[in-house]
Structure 1
Amino acid sequence: MGVVIWSDGKLRDEREAVATAVDHGLTVGDGVFETCAVIDGRAFALTRHLRRLARSAAGLGLAPPDEDEVRAGIDAVLVAGGPELGRVRVTVTAGPGPLGSNRAAPGVARQTVLVLAGPGPRPETVRVARVPWVRNERSAVAGLKTTSYAENVVALAYAVERGADEALLANTVGDLCEGTGSNVFVERGGELLTPMLTSGCLAGITRELMLEWGLEAGLPVRESRPGELPFTVLEEVLDHGRDGGTRLALSSSVRNLVPVVNLDGVEIAAGPLSLQAQRLFQAKVAEGIDP
């Protein structure tokens, strides 16, 4: 199936122009977005995603997105797309602006709001590769989900060329950070650890839910302590991930939580705790669409 598009109050054809050439989201990447899984025709964890959309907009200095407008767009594409949809994406930009980095004067430009829905395959496992670039945890947009995604495109292409599905990045001080579109969990010492937010990683919704649900279920899942997850922990995965040692898992809104079975071309076993967390997450998803 193709992509269903909504903009400015109505559904649009894929060939129809929906944004001006001087939209600041196009010229300089001045925008934010969210992607939700679609389960049984509904957007999963939508309230949390819209809350993060507003946080990202505030972090960029954009006005709060119109939540009623966004929800109307989501409803429209989900009805039009039918049962085969797997994901819905909301993009909000600053709207028309100058060709440079300065925005239009406050109150002059109206935000551009786009809602798209399409397929969203959910693999049971994932392959990853380390890349030679780092996340800047001190960046002005660290932890924000912005449309300035070029560095992720380059990193993911590097990983795909090496047979992986996702890339893993360190930050500038050598700590494990995240993937291009995912959070990472390290199964180590009987615990499932995820880098702390000060590493520069995105505050993923699936990550957030996994921490909450793991705590409720008595699963040893937690945020790491300072210095506890250096990027070199991935060497442990290569050394011991095949025989009961350190393992990996990734989380994202479309993947949910999935174990890593290949790192840099080396096959590794899915960790037992990662598989347990995966089962827990799937069970909790079935309990409610908007946790």
Structure 2
Amino acid sequence: MTPENRVIVWFGGRLRGHAEPLVLATDHGLTVGDGVFEACELLGGRPFALTRHLERLERSAAGLGLPLPDRDVVRAAVAEVAEAWGESLARVRILWTAGPGPLGSDAAWGPGTLVVAAAAVSAPRAASVAVVPFVRNERSAIAGLKTTSYAENVRALAWAHERGADEAVFGNTRDELCEGTGTNVFVEADGALLTPPLDSGCLAGVTRALVIEWAREAGVEVREQGLPLGIVHEAEHLALTSSTRGVVPVVAVDGRELRPGPLTQQVAEIYARRHVETPDP
């Protein structure tokens, strides 16, 4: 296996071979997408902001009506995977599903399924985005939950890639700016950073929350407010945040070129420094 294709997998209390079959065909995470997950950065062999990610994993599980995973077991599994991975940059993915169940939408029988895996991730870079014709439903039963029901994101990202973009950006049913497939969006305008509020239907990103906290501590004005989707076609400066991107500038929207904004650059530097200094903020 080449380094870029290397995968470390934990399941059932121990590390497994990357090609070893593990999950039952009746697992609800597979059959109906009844599961949740988290993905956090492995930086120097340590998972970044693991506590915040586990808290969100539990919120997402509760939102789907799933029993909560044993946090101590998850931490131990992540530590074992991280140690096996080593020092190079990676993503660790924590998957928790409802477990085996009927081949339909009735509740699973359980018990839940836990899989923790690590794989290489590329270094963050500036991004181009495309605004997709699909929308986020801010009133959906799974709005704001990080679930395994990701087909919508897969399709949107493919649509963006077909148009030469790195990421897709969604509006919601109110034609407001919402989020990317795996990112939160910040608009730099009038000396402040603006980002959609959680009631827009966007995910409560861990990096989003840290950027808001750390930027405000540094004296940067950050506001959570509803924004029209069209602002991405008018703003001079945009940024994306995520656990594996950190803070990166948007350099094009639907082919319109943009320059990195001064606040984006300032906050990116703050985040880059503090996320190394504070591994579990």
Using structure 2 for the length normalisation, give the TM-score.
Answer: 0.97
Q: Which residue of 2 aligns with 1:95?
A: 99
Q: What does the per-residue CA deviation read over 1:162-215, in whole Å, with 9 as the maximum and x for residues that have no partner?
A: 111100000000100000000000001111111000000000000000111111
Counterpart-to-counterpart distance in 1, 2:17 and 2:182:
27
| Per-residue deviation, 1:287 | 1.6
Aligned to 1:257: 247
1:72 aligns with 2:73: no
Q: Is the 8 A contact 2:9 2:118 kept in 1?
A: yes
Determine if the alignment matches structure 1 residue 270 to structure 2 residue 270: no
1:74-100 deviations in Å (ceiling 9; x for gaps):
111111111124110000000000000
From 16, 25, 28, give the equivalent of 2:29.
25
Residue 152 (structure 2) aligns with:
151
- In the TM superposition, residue 286 of structure 1 has moved relative to its aligned partner by 2.1
Distance 2:270 2:79 in 1: 28
After superposition, the C-alpha distances for 1:130-181 in whole angstroms (9 at most, x for unaligned) are: 1000000000000000000000000000001111110000000010000000
Does residue 47 (structure 1) correspond to residue 37 (structure 2)? The answer is no
The match for 2:199 is 198
Task: Give the Cα separation in 1 of the matches to 2:258 and 2:218.
Answer: 27
Shift of 1:221: 1.7
Distance between the aligned counterparts of 1:15 and 1:123, measured in 2?
28
Give the equivalent residue in structure 2 for 1:233. 231
Per-residue deviation, 1:265: 1.7
- Superposition pairs for residues 86-165 of structure 1, below 5 Å? 86-104=90-108, 108-165=109-166
Unaligned runs of 5+ in 2: none
In structure 2, distance between residues paired with 1:167 and 1:261: 13
Indicate conservation of the 8 Å contact 1:143/1:201, yes or no: yes
Partner SS, residue 286 of structure 1: helix
What is aligned with 1:63?
67
Could you give the per-residue CA deviations for residues 226-256 of structure 1, whole angstroms, max 9, x where no partner exists? Answer: 4xx100112213xxx3xxxxx1000000001
Aligned residues: 277
Question: In 2, Cα distance between the equivalents of 1:260 and 1:28?
Answer: 34
- Whether the 8 Å CA contact 1:194–1:222 is kept in 2: the answer is yes
Code of the residue aligned with 2:8 in structure 1: it is V
Q: 1:85, 1:117 within 8 Å by CA — same for their partners in 2?
A: no
User: Which deviates more, 170-179 or 117-126?
Assistant: 117-126
Whether the aligned pair in 2 keeps the contact of 1:30 and 1:146 (CA below 8 Å) is: yes
SS class of match (2:54): helix
Q: CA RMSD in A?
A: 0.9
**Which of 4, 8, 11 is matched with 1:4 structurally?**
8
Code of the aligned partner of 1:139: S
| Superimposed CA distance per residue, residues 89-143 of structure 1 (whole angstroms, 9 cap, x where no aligned partner) | 0000000000001123xxx521100000011212231111110000000000000
Percent same amino acid at aligned positions? 57
Counterpart residue identity of residue 178, structure 2? C
Does the CA-based 8 Å contact 1:78-1:85 persist in structure 2?
A: no
The answer (yes or no) to whether the contact 2:43–2:88 under 8 Å persists in 1 is no
**C-alpha separation in 2, matches of 1:85 and 1:268:** 28
The answer on whether the counterparts of 2:124 and 2:244 sit within 8 Å (CA) in structure 1 is no
Give secondary structure in 2 for the equivalent of 1:232: helix
Question: 2:185 and 2:274 mapped to 1: Cα distance?
Answer: 20
Name the CA distance, whole Å, in 2 between partners of 1:124 and 1:58: 34
Provide the TM-score with structure 1 as the length reference: 0.93
